[in-house]
Structure 1
Amino acid sequence: MKTARIFQRPKNSMQSGRSRLDVWMLEMEPTKAEEADPLTGWNGGGDVSNQVRITFPTLEAAKAHAEREGYAYHVVPAPERKLKLQAYADNFR
């Protein structure tokens, strides 16, 4: 049985806005470890299912899709948003 991971994408450190953070993503867990290619040294494998990411508007829609397809899934909670309150005057202490 394939295992899926359902999560909300965290905010990228390079973005200032909060656009598209409310979307839920479903991605497949890797079934086996990647192997090093003896010729190039790159890691790879024959399983391409972990390259597919499906987005859903709600958590319930993502769970319903996983159950309909017969995937075992686990939900990764969204990271807690930490506010770092700073004042400009703190630079001169």
Structure 2
Amino acid sequence: MPARIYQRPKNAMQSGKALLDQWILDFDPAEAKKPDPLMGWAGSGDTQGQVTLKFGSQAEAQAYAATHGIAATVHATPPRRLKLQAYADNFR
């Protein structure tokens, strides 16, 4: 059961930086989702897709995956680039 480890991205709609230091371990879907014939909702029999584990650091997440035999890949967080701009630049 492959998994991925990544750091929570910043929400573009909010300026706060809460929970950005958490590292998430998510399992890859084992089967494709299919629509329910009665309601039309998308679902599958894969229960690992509902599991999300949160850790305080990348090392803790990797240690958990190694301890439990989970093949996890780490997705590095891209560096944040600030676009510094003055209000007067809008009128150039």
TM-score by length of 2: 0.91
Per the alignment, residue 18 of structure 2 pairs with 19
Per the alignment, residue 65 of structure 1 pairs with 64
Query: What SS does structure 1 have at the residue aligned with 2:46?
Result: coil
Number of residue pairs aligned between Structure 1 and Structure 2: 92
Gap regions ≥5 residues in structure 1: none
Q: CA RMSD in A?
A: 1.2
Per the alignment, residue 75 of structure 1 pairs with 74
Identity among equivalent positions (%) equals 52
Gap regions ≥5 residues in structure 2: none
Per the alignment, residue 83 of structure 2 pairs with 84
1:44 paired with 2:43, answer yes
One-letter identity of the residue aligned with 2:65: A
One-letter identity of the residue aligned with 1:71: I
One-letter identity of the residue aligned with 2:60: A
- Stretches (4+) displaced over 6 A: none
Q: Give the Å deviation of 1:22.
A: 1.4
TM-score by length of 1: 0.90
